[in-house]
Amino acid sequence: MRRMALAVTMVVFLAFAAVPLTVAAQAPSSTQPAPYSPGLGDFMTAYVQPHHIKLWFAGISGNWKLAAYETNELDETFDDVVSYQGNWHDLPISSLVQALIRPQLKSISAAIAAQDLTRFKSAYAGLNTACNRCHMSAQHEFVKIVTPASNPYLDQKLSAVQKP
C-alpha cells in the first residue's frame, strides 16, 4: 500500500513539475510578428473607397438615411486613418484629413440633413477634389478620384426604399 501511495505521489509530482515547462513553451516569443497595423493604402481601398461609392449612389437616389450612414462610416474611417497613419512617409496625414477631408464631410452631412440633392452633388464633388488634393500631396496623383459611373454593389439596394 505504501508503494502504491509513493507511486501516485510521484506521478502527481511529475505532472505538476511539467506544468511550468508547458506554460513556458506556450508563452509568446519575442520573434513573433507585431499585431497587424493597416497601411494607408489598406484603409483607402478596403474602407474609404467602398463607403465613398455607396455614399454617391445613396445620395443621388434620395436614400438619405443610407447616405448619412455612409458619411458617418467615412468619418469614422478617417479617425482610424489618423490613429494608425497620422504620419505617412513624413507626410502629416492627420493634418491633411483635418484641413481637406473633414470640411467636405461636414458639407455632405449638411446637404443630407437638408435632403438637398443639388447641395449633395456639389459637396460630393468637393470631397472628390479634397481626396485628389491629398493624393497629390502624397505624390500619388495617379490615384484620381471621380464620381462613380455605375454601382458595383449589385447585392445591396442603395436607392431609397419605397414604402408600400
In a domain, 33, yes or no: no
User: With the C-alpha atoms ordered 83, 126, 118, 57, is the resulting torsion angle positive or negative?
Assistant: negative
In a domain, 149, yes or no: no
In a domain, 24, yes or no: no
For the chain, where are the alpha helices, taking DSSP H only?
A: 2-26, 40-43, 49-60, 64-85, 93-96, 102-114, 117-137
| Angle ∠(150,60,118) on CA atoms, nearest 5 | 130
Domain harbouring 55, CATH code: 1.20.120
In a domain, 116, yes or no: yes
Walk along the chain (164 residues) and give the pLDDT tens digit of each residue: 555 444 444 444 444 454 454 444 455 556 888 888 889 999 999 999 999 999 999 999 999 999 999 999 999 999 999 999 888 999 999 999 999 999 999 999 999 999 999 999 999 999 999 999 999 999 999 999 999 999 999 898 888 876 65
Domain count, the chain: 1
In a domain, 144, yes or no: no
- Give the model's pLDDT for residue 6: 45
What DSSP character marks residue 120?
A: H
In a domain, 15, yes or no: no
In a domain, 16, yes or no: no
Using one digit for the tens of pLDDT, what is the confidence trace for 51-65? 999 999 999 999 999
| Angle ∠(129,79,133) on CA atoms, nearest 5 | 20
- Domain containing 87 equals 40-137
In a domain, 46, yes or no: yes
Calculate Rg over the CA atoms of the chain: 27
- Give the model's pLDDT for residue 12: 45
